[in-house]
Amino acid sequence: MIAALTGVPAPSILDDSLFMQQVLNGNYNIQLFRPIADIISRRDNNRPNNRSQNTGNGSNNQAPVYSHPIFEAAINTNQLPQLKVSGQSYSQGVAPALASKQVSIPTHNGQQECARWLLKGSCNKKCPRASNHTTVAANSDRYNAVLQFKNNCKNWHSRNRQAGDSDFH
């Protein structure tokens, strides 16, 4: 009812987590127009150890299905809500803060933490920091370090916010 009155869609309509998980796991087939699929197919055919998954056979006018997993996703199903940031906050606040070298990533077991895993709740299973893709216990030293890191990124974002950037959440 609120959406009908205000034009704001319900949160369930905006939830794209299932779609994103399918894309990240390579389980979602993207339909591409024939010319684009042909370009990708030619590119893949020129690569060593070709593993193109283009199933189009060119015998009809239907667009071929080209599925190419970007990476195998690791999903943090036990992520604490206090540590979670939205995808926009990560791309507009965390990633640029790290790139600026003004915010440092905490360490765990002698290795830098994976910011993507800790704050977004997903990452590549082949990540160089995958050994730290573990659950953070609430109120632990690790939790406090990650929460401080998140707050440092939030502060960096508020100082360096660009026009059009969303709020950090």
Question: Which residues lie across from 74 on neighbouring strands?
Answer: 123
Q: Which of 27-54 are b and which e, b meaning 16 or more Cβ less than 10 Å from the residue's Cβ?
A: eeeeebeeeebbebbeeeeeeeeeeeeb
CA distance 112 to 129: 7
User: Which whole-number Å values give the CA distances from 145 to 82, 83, 120, 142, 151, in the listed order?
Assistant: 13, 11, 16, 5, 10
pLDDT, greater one: 10 or 51: 10
- In this prediction, residue 52 carries a pLDDT of 41
**Do 93 and 57 belong to one domain?**
no
Asked if the structure places residue 125 within a domain, the reply is yes
pLDDT of 13-45, one tens digit each?
A: 566 666 666 666 666 566 666 777 677 777 766
3-state secondary structure of 30: strand
Among 11-15, 74-78, 107-111, name the one with the lowest average pLDDT.
Answer: 11-15
**Do 80 and 120 belong to one domain?**
yes
Number of domains in the chain: 2
Strands 73-75 and 111-112, by their bridges, are: unpaired
pLDDT of 120-162, one tens digit each?
A: 988 888 889 989 999 899 989 999 999 999 999 999 888 988 7
Q: Which domain holds residue 51?
A: 2-66
From 51, 66, 81, give the residue that closes a domain: 66
From 12, 42, 66, give the residue that closes a domain: 66
pTM assigned to the model: 0.58
